[in-house]
Amino acid sequence: MSKPVSGDFSKTAGWLDWFDGPAKPAFTLPAGAVDAHCHVFGPGAEFPYAPERKYTPCDASKAELFALRDHLGFERNVIVQATCHGADNRAMVDACRASKGKARGVATVRRAVTDEELQSLHEAGVRGVRFNFVKRLVDFTPKDELMEIASRIAKLGWHIVVYFEAQDLPELWDFFTNLPTTVVVDHMGRPDVSLPVDGPQFELFVKLMREHDNIWSKVSCPERLSVTGPKALDGERHAYHDVIPFARKLVETFPDRVLWGTDWPHPNLKDHMPDDGLLVDFIPHIAPTPQLQQQLLVTNPMRLYWPEEC
Ligand SMILES: O=C(O)c1cc(C(=O)O)oc(=O)c1
């Protein structure tokens, strides 16, 4: 059944709603596992979508996110500000506050943000800001504005999450490598997985991580990156074969700087909507040992988002 979008909005044509009734994963997540990349959308009637957004999603509320967390066996979430909310962080903050300490957040802020607003985001559980360079999702923000934000949030001990596409890495290299905090790259910098894993495009990303030990990567979104599948649907517990070598290379080369997240509710997928239970079964293919799984799902996200508990 199609999910609602409440408030005075209508979904982007062809919008795929998140998957209802996901399977139980066959893979048992380690105790304390963190879903380190997920979003909330609205609900639009309560938290309106931003005027400058590039898409209008279905609603995906905090209650639905927390139910998914419990169903899959995660203990905590990192809720990343979705671009459909622009720099209005209220939905994400509301979810963090309602989580009873089980969610931390990554915000989007503009240059005009005040120190008081940053402090209030910190108190709600925000520990990072997201800089987005994907042109279909956001309007351009000048790099000097981003650098100014970076130096302000660095003082709070926050980090920076960056989202970009592989072909843009050469142009962004100097900016990324001059950032003053830990930098977490969304979805492995979106490699073209039809190219060789040891070819120049992905090697450039590996080099970025090798030469800069403050740069981390989320080994997430196989459902977005995969070209040949198979899809995490209809009981398929060994999905997205073509993405495995890329994610596994990062997990094995940089085991203390990788994170994993569901990316629920999976904005902008055009082709299919994965069953999140089957998506979790991707994890043991990219982190094949209990030790790598512990680092990916517990130790690393805890160090970044709940350091006071480490
Ligand atoms: O590839 C995307 O469309 C996408 C969009 C968003 C967002 O709109 O925030 O976040 C993601 O992690 C991925």
| Shortest-distance Cα residue to atom 4 of ligand 1 | 267
- Between vectors from CA 217 to CA 249 and to CA 102, what angle results, nearest 5°? 125
Mean pLDDT of 223-227: 98
Percent of the chain whose pLDDT exceeds 90:
99
221 SS3 class: coil
Instruction: For residue 130, give the ligand 1 atom closest to its CA.
Output: 9
pLDDT-derived band of residue 1, with 50, 70 and 90 as boundaries? low
What separation in Å is there between the alpha carbon of 262 and the centre of ligand 1? 12
CATH architecture of residue range(s) 34-305: Alpha-Beta Barrel (3.20)
Per-domain boundaries in the chain = 34-305
- Within 6 A (CB) of ligand 1 lie 82-84, 137, 186, 224, 263, 267-268
What separation in Å is there between the alpha carbon of 60 and the centre of ligand 1? 14
pLDDT tens column, 7-58: 989 999 999 999 999 999 999 999 999 999 999 999 999 999 999 999 999 9
pLDDT tens column, 104-122: 999 999 999 999 999 999 9
Alpha-carbon distance 284 to 290, whole Å?
Answer: 9
Q: At a CB cut-off of 8 Å and minimum separation 6, what does 142 contact?
A: none
Pocket test for ligand 1, best of 218, 268, 273 (most atoms within 8 A of CB): 268
Alpha-carbon distance 180 to 297, whole Å?
Answer: 25
- Predicted structure pTM score: 0.98
Q: Are 259 and 218 spatial neighbours (Cβ–Cβ below 8 Å)?
A: yes
Q: Are 143 and 123 spatial neighbours (Cβ–Cβ below 8 Å)?
A: no
Order the strands of the 126-132 sheet from edge to edge: 34-38, 76-80, 103-107, 126-132, 159-163, 183-185, 215-218, 258-259
Instruction: For residue 80, give the ligand 1 atom closest to its CA.
Output: 9
Is 213 annotated as catalytic? no
Paired residues of 217 in beta bridges: 185, 258
Q: Token pair for residue 299?
A: 């130790």
| Shortest-distance Cα residue to atom 11 of ligand 1 | 267
Give Rg (Cα) of the chain: 18
